[in-house]
Amino acid sequence: MASQTKPVLHGYFRSSCSWRVRIAFALKGIEYDQVPVNLIKDGGQQLTEQYKKLNPMLQVPAVEIDGITLSQSLAVIQYVDETRPGPRLLPADPKKRAQVRMISDVIASGIQPLQNLYVIQKIGAEKMQWAQHFIDRGFQALEPILKQTAGKYCVGDEISMADVCLVPQVYNAERFKVDVGQYPTIHRLNQTLVEIEAFKATDPSCQPDTPADLRA
Amino acid sequence: MHLSLVSLAKPVLHGYFRSSCSWRVRIAFALKGIEYDQVPVNLIKDGGQQLTEQYKKLNPMLQVPAVEIDGITLSQSLAVIQYVDETRPGPRLLPADPKKRAQVRMISDVIASGIQPLQNLYVIQKIGAEKMQWAQHFIDRGFQALEPILKQTAGKYCVGDEISMADVCLVPQVYNAERFKVDVGQYPTIHRLNQTLVEIEAFKATDPSCQPDTPADLRA
């Protein structure tokens, strides 16, 4: 009976990790409920004892699905890919699949954790330079990798988890005033992807918890 | 018939004896019984051998590990480990059950995204004088999360009773915790799992104390 309940995504409109999960659900055509977790309000709703039960890392997203609760967006995305029909989010070919994971991990381990809210709050006054530094460093690595792996999308010509990770990271880069134009392949891929419905409909500007002044 | 000579070549691991990410890959190779060559990349010597133009071609993130395997070069240890698991026989590093597999990835990512990147060499060099407290803070934060997760998922190992990628990630992270003087005893499940795992040959033989590039004063 649990598998007939819709998945529940606990996330934040502007969390890039939450957005990855929204994109993956949209690409697979999966309906889900959203429970907003405001990372700023009330000192941060992700810090409550109640939320801690969903994700003891006190981060978004957390996803209730098929009777379990998962955190870590890439674990969620691959679980969804492996259990739901629809377009593959990871290629069938093992080498391409490894490249998708490599690109996703450059973003999800090599960039985003160094510029998420928790860390930049800890860095304090120099947070802009800190975030720009780590995003630039990561994009300097991603650019030659993608030049080699990309076709129409990050790896070849099929949308994958790598694309799902890229768009929210470019959004973050723009928030921190990184000049993404310096990275032509990243720029080109992002331009293509943001026109796709699954990416558009899940954009931070049009979520249930998007504040009025940031709505598209 | 095309005989791929490239696939007959042994994988090559470019790593550092004390890099926890390199150690994860060494453990995975050992668990699968795969022979490979090691090319040491000294992260300290010569200003850091990972920063050369030559190494950049292997991994433009200028980090270890990088692995040459089956004619391609891969970076990001979990991408390497899952590639190896999917292409080589031997004990599974990820469970067959999708929910357990998701839990293995979740635990691995808490470590590989939530802890290690905040305390790796590059970041602590940037933090400077307060690096001990910074590293301890992020390791403690991550272990405070891992402890209740593992209490729920663990049997004999991190997820149930089969060794998985989660265990492969845990031991090197505990090693890092000890280097930064974190009291791992505060985390009983992590402590118990680590004690079990470090006795296993694949973890022992790949320990930083006995690698080709282990300095003489740190050899076991």
| Structure tokens that stand for A157 in this block | 């010509």
Put simply, the chain A residues between 70 and 99 with a CB less than 8 A from any chain B CB are 70-72, 74-76, 78-79, 82-83, 94-95, 97-99
CB contact at 8 A, B110 and A57: yes
The pLDDT tens digits of the residues spanning A73-126 come to 999 999 999 999 999 999 999 999 999 999 999 999 999 999 999 999 999 999
Chain A: give the shortest CA distance to residue B14, in Å: 16
Question: Is the pLDDT assigned to residue A3 strictly greater than 70?
Answer: no
Residues of A in contact with B50 (CB under 8 A): none
- Check CB contact of B106 with chain A, cutoff 8 Å: yes
Cα–Cα distance for residue pair B82/A187, rounded to 1 Å: 29
Q: Which one of B109, B123, B148 has the shortest CB-CB distance to A75?
A: B109
- Check CB contact of B60 with chain A, cutoff 8 Å: yes
| In A111-198, beta strands by DSSP E | none
Per the CB < 8 Å rule, is A57 touching B145?
Answer: yes
Residues 6+ apart with CB under 8 A from A49: none
> In terms of Cα–Cα distance, which of A155, A163, A170, A146 is closest to A23?
A163
Put simply, the chain B residues between 123 and 182 with a CB less than 8 A from any chain A CB are 123, 141-142, 144-149
Give the distance, in angstroms, between the CA of residue B43 and the centroid of all CA atoms in the same chain: 16
Q: Which one of A105, A113, A140 has the shortest CB-CB distance to B118?
A: A113
Instruction: Tell me the C-alpha to C-alpha distance, in Å, between residue B85 and each of A98, A129, A136, A208, B90.
Output: 11, 39, 32, 40, 8
Q: What is the pLDDT of residue A190?
A: 98
**Searching chain B, which residue's CA lies closest to the CA of residue A94?**
B83
Band of pLDDT at residue B7, cut at 50, 70 and 90: low
Burial status of residue A79 (CB atoms within 10 A of its CB: 0-12, 13-18, 19 or more) = buried
Cα–Cα distance for residue pair B183/B174, rounded to 1 Å: 10
Band of pLDDT at residue B195, cut at 50, 70 and 90: very high
Residues A137-165 have a mean pLDDT of: 98
Task: Count interface pairs A-B at CB distance under 8 A.
Answer: 117
Chain A: give the shortest CA distance to residue B219, in Å: 30
**Searching chain A, which residue's CA lies closest to the CA of residue B71?**
A95
Between CA A71 and CA A153, with CA A19 as vertex, the angle to 5 degrees is 110
Question: Is the pLDDT assigned to residue B3 strictly greater than 70?
Answer: no
Cα–Cα distance for residue pair A99/A154, rounded to 1 Å: 9
Please give the single-letter amino acid code of residue B23: W
Chain A: give the shortest CA distance to residue B118, in Å: 7
Q: In what order do the strands lie in the sheet with B72-75?
A: B37-40, B12-15, B66-69, B72-75
R_g of chain B, CA atoms, integer Å: 17
**Searching chain B, which residue's CA lies closest to the CA of residue A110?**
B117
- Please give the backbone phi and psi of residue A26, each rounded to the nearest 5 degrees, phi first: -65, -40
Band of pLDDT at residue B51, cut at 50, 70 and 90: very high
Question: Is the pLDDT assigned to residue B1 strictly greater than 80?
Answer: no
Residues 6+ apart with CB under 8 A from A120: A127, A130, A131
Cα–Cα distance for residue pair A37/A13, rounded to 1 Å: 9
CA torsion through residues B113, B118, B121, B126, sign? positive
Residue of A16, A46, A55, A102 for testing the chain B interface, max B β-carbons within 10 Å:
A102
The pLDDT tens digits of the residues spanning B166-178 come to 999 999 999 999 9
Question: Is the pLDDT assigned to residue B220 strictly greater than 90?
Answer: no
Per the CB < 8 Å rule, is A108 touching B109?
Answer: yes
Question: Is the pLDDT assigned to residue A191 strictly greater than 80?
Answer: yes
The pLDDT tens digits of the residues spanning B108-135 come to 999 999 999 999 999 999 999 999 999 9
The pLDDT tens digits of the residues spanning B56-102 come to 999 999 999 999 999 999 999 999 999 999 999 999 999 999 999 99
- Please give the backbone phi and psi of residue A88, each rounded to the nearest 5 degrees, phi first: -65, 135
- Look at strands B37-40 and B12-15 and give their pairing: parallel
Mean pLDDT across chain B: 96
CB contact at 8 A, A20 and A200: no
Question: Is the pLDDT assigned to residue B192 strictly greater than 70?
Answer: yes
ipTM of the complex: 0.97
- Plot region of A156 (φ>0 → left; ψ -120 to 50 → alpha; else → beta): left
Residue of B99, B106, B107, B121 for testing the chain A interface, max A β-carbons within 10 Å:
B106
Q: Which residue has the higher pLDDT, A126 or B8?
A: A126
Residues B146-165 have a mean pLDDT of: 98
Q: Which residue has the higher pLDDT, A23 or A4?
A: A23
- Check CB contact of A108 with chain B, cutoff 8 Å: yes
Q: What is the pLDDT of residue A216?
A: 81
- Check CB contact of B121 with chain A, cutoff 8 Å: no
The pLDDT tens digits of the residues spanning A20-45 come to 999 999 999 999 999 999 999 999 99
Q: Which one of B75, B110, B114 has the shortest CB-CB distance to A102?
A: B75
